[in-house]
Structure 1
Amino acid sequence: MQHVESTLGPDVPIVVWSPREGARFSLDELAAYLAESKQRISAQLDENGGILLRGFDCVHTSSDYQKVLDVVAPDLMDYVGGTSPRKVVNGRIMTATEIPGSYSIPLHQEMSYTDNSPDRISFFCERPPSEGGQTTIGDMRAITRAIDPKVRERFETHGGVQLCRNLPLPEKVASRPGVPKTWHEVFATDRREEAEKVAAESGWRFEWLDDGSMQLWQEVRPTTRQHPRSGDDVWFNQVHIFSPISALKWARLDGRTEAADRLARALEEAPQLLDHMRYGDGTEIAAEDVLHIYDVLLENEKPVQWQKGDVLVLDNILVAHGRKRFSGDRSVLTALIQHAH
């Protein structure tokens, strides 16, 4: 059985694989076909950054998605230390995010604030939204070229970036601006000693505050990362998401006025309770540099309109992903791929 290859447009760095007209694949046939095509899939991911499996009507459920992943991405990883609220659906398959549809999500590479980021990431559209909700993608090679070289130089001179997070108790979440995660969620435990053990094993510094929250300093990361096979050196961090100044702009662009007002008050009254990023040497990052990065990423995002049953696999270094705001029901699942083959 054969497939047809196409693209979503000249500026969208992914290849679409669809069955030839009239062809029908069973799930077992699709799995066998993908197994035969594994080397080609890997080569296309290294070159284009993404593959979208579309029109294979046999992929309906998370179990079907798992069968596809068993072939194209057998090495899945857990989400310990991640920042987005997610729910486990099946094994290591999770909801893409529990962030409400009133939020867009800026382009980013998954877990780029840690040393243990996935090589690739996959998404499965179980139910497309009624309005909006496109997944956005961005070519990080083009984005890196678009960043002002002087801004890049300042990040490199100051030794990269470090994420500092405040992880509240469950009963304190509602009082915090943004979408904070509790330390219970981040470390998958409600025991302090277990959370401390995971933090220490990860090389993270932490402090317990009087309100029961954990102040967590994750590892210092370089601002770029070299792709192990293509050799491309691309921007690889989330300074534009975790800096409060850009989070404020993000809320206002979304029209989340109340959230923006709460964030602005928190910046004045209790900035230590907000997630933030600093240069690797501990100094503060200039607001205009953070906003420049935010704007470059926003200008380079390309929307992918979901169809039911779509399976998208992205190289997590070469291609960033995000989301448009949406209304109505939407179910997109995700899996983190630890090792590329």
Structure 2
Amino acid sequence: MTHTQAWTPLEIETESIGGCEELVERITGMGEEFDKLLAAEKGLVFRGFGVTPADLDQVLDTLLPNRLAYVHGNSPRTKVGSNVYTSTEYPQEFTISMHNEMSYAHAWPSRLAFYCQVQPGSGGATPVVDAAVWLDSLDAEVREAFADGVRYVQNLHDGYGFGKSWQDTFETTSRAQVDAFLDRTGATWEWKADGGIRVSSLRPATTRHPVTGTEVWFNQSDQWHPAGLGDDTAGALAQILPEDELPQNVTFADGSPIPAEYVAQIRDRGLEHAVDVDWHSGDLLLIDNVLLAHGRRPFTGDRRVLVAMSD
């Protein structure tokens, strides 16, 4: 790693001929020191090891000892392996703004691993931002407005409609299993006459890292807010659906609206302070999901990045 005044993830390169075996041996050889390294560096990039799709399970078993399913996830993905998913399937010409994975949920993964199976033709970096820097970059007025947290609202259809179905979201076709899951989360919900479900969840806007104690910006208000869609898309949706029927929406904790200018500031300052991780086939990126938020830059070509997560 080249040390500069600005933070960047630590890059770890092969010391010999590379390969899955060297990477696994180096990680396992560090023992508990590996966990300390990740907490200190926030993100680790593994380059030159030439990890293949056939190697991926072994490497992920080492990096993420307890891989999690993407249950209650709100972004469109495809499950491609044992709790391995495509990264968010969003049109390649758009930027995906910064976010900590599942920060809207009652529980979230502590680690994320990204694997580049096919490098993009151009662009397509994964930007990462120090979530404490993101918090500090926001105006005091914005931070104070979010002091009581945010309320997320999901309208999940029964198979036909805008956004995700509840079956895809909860990876089940059983209403009883959905009820049991939500009962543990502190959310409120109602099954609707059309077979869909509306879920409302009150969550904090910031959190503290369990090891370092660092306070970080930790919510997805800008991604769930209609203003985050852009004027054209938000305007088109408003012609089709009332705000309380949108696939997802967010308000302040008391139900009052979040100003669009707050949303723009949150989105723009996260991207402004982000560091891009460029991809080559076989690369891996491991991040602490509390200390770092991530996103995606626009790209051309056939980019394929897979993601897995653990507690």
Same fold (TM over 0.5): yes
Percent of residue pairs bearing the same amino acid type: 34
> Counterpart of 2:26 in structure 1: which amino acid?
Y
* Counterpart Cα distance in 2 of 1:231 and 1:202: 23
Residues 315 and 133 (structure 1), Cα distance of their counterparts in 2 relative to 1, 3 Å cut: same
How has the CA–CA distance of structure 1 residues 167 and 41 changed in structure 2, closer, same or farther, with 3 Å as cutoff?
Answer: same
- Runs (5+) with no aligned partner, structure 1: 1-5, 250-256
What is the aligned residue count?
310
User: For residue 209 of structure 2, what is the aligned residue in structure 1?
Assistant: 227
Cα separation, partners in 2 of 1:30 and 1:48, compared to 1, 3 Å? closer
Query: What is the deviation of 1:8?
Result: 8.7
**How far is the alpha carbon of 1:217 from its aligned partner?**
0.9
Q: State the superposition RMSD in angstroms.
A: 2.0
Confirm or deny: 8 A CA contact 2:106 2:186 kept in the other structure.
no
**What is the TM-score with the length of structure 2 in the denominator?**
0.92
CA distance in 1, matches of 2:7, 2:304: 23
**Structure 2 Cα separation of the partners of residues 192 and 17 of structure 1:** 45
Residue among 243, 246, 263 paired with 2:237? 263
Out of 116, 141, 149, the position equivalent to 1:160 is 149
CA distance in 1, matches of 2:160, 2:212: 46
Using the alignment, how far apart are the partners of 1:77 and 1:290 within structure 2? 30
Matches within 5 A, 1:270-309: 270-274=242-246, 275-309=248-282
SS in 2 for 1:291: helix
Q: Does the aligned pair in 2 maintain the 1:248–1:264 contact within 8 Å?
A: no
Extract structure 1 runs of 4+ deviating beyond 4 A: 7-10
The CA deviation at 1:228 is 1.4
Give, in whole Å, the separation in 2 of the partners of 1:301 and 1:187.
31
Residue in structure 2 matching 1:128, options 101, 108, 119: 119
Deviation track 1:80-117 (CA, whole Å, cap 9, x = no partner) reads: 11111122222111111222323321010000011210
Aligned match of 2:293: 320
Aligned to 1:241: 223
Unaligned segments of structure 2, at least 5 residues: none
Give runs of aligned pairs for residues 39-58 of structure 1, distance below 5 A: 39-57=32-50
Contact 1:8 1:16 in 2 (8 A): no
**How far does residue 69 in structure 1 lie from its aligned partner after superposition?**
2.1
Report the residue type matching 1:314 in the other structure: I
Displacement of 1:246 in angstroms is 2.0
**Normalization by structure 1: what TM-score?**
0.85
More helix as a share of residues? 1
Q: What CA distance in whole angstroms lies between the structure 1 residues aligned with 2:236 and 2:157?
A: 17
